[in-house]
Amino acid sequence: MSDKKIRITQVASGFGRKPGQKENLVGLGLNKIGRSVEVVATPDVLGKVNKVKHLLKVEELG
């Protein structure tokens, strides 16, 4: 299994979003606009990112 990492930055608020979207942000380690986290791109993480992709900026790390 590859250990490909991605950097996820929150660019929009989770306030007032559909149920589960704010929880996905917290599950990714984000809770404020401008926060970034570097995580391993597992299927679990990519699924969470896909649910809230309109609130995030995603970059692949080498």
- Residue written as tokens 């699924």? 47
Domain range list for the chain:
5-61
Residues linked to residue 6 through DSSP beta bridges, in sequence order: 39, 60
Q: Full-prediction pTM beyond 0.85?
A: yes
Half-sphere exposure of 43 (CA within 13 A, CB side): 1
> Which H/E stretch holds residue 47?
helix 43-51
> Which H/E stretch holds residue 21?
helix 21-27
SS3 state at 48: helix
Domain 5-61 maps to which CATH number in 3.40.50.720, 3.40.50.12500, 3.30.1390.20, 3.20.140.10? Answer: 3.30.1390.20
pLDDT tens digits in sequence order for the chain, 62 residues long: 568 999 999 999 999 999 899 999 999 999 999 999 999 999 999 999 999 999 999 999 97
Q: How far apart are CA 5 and CA 13, in angstroms?
A: 24
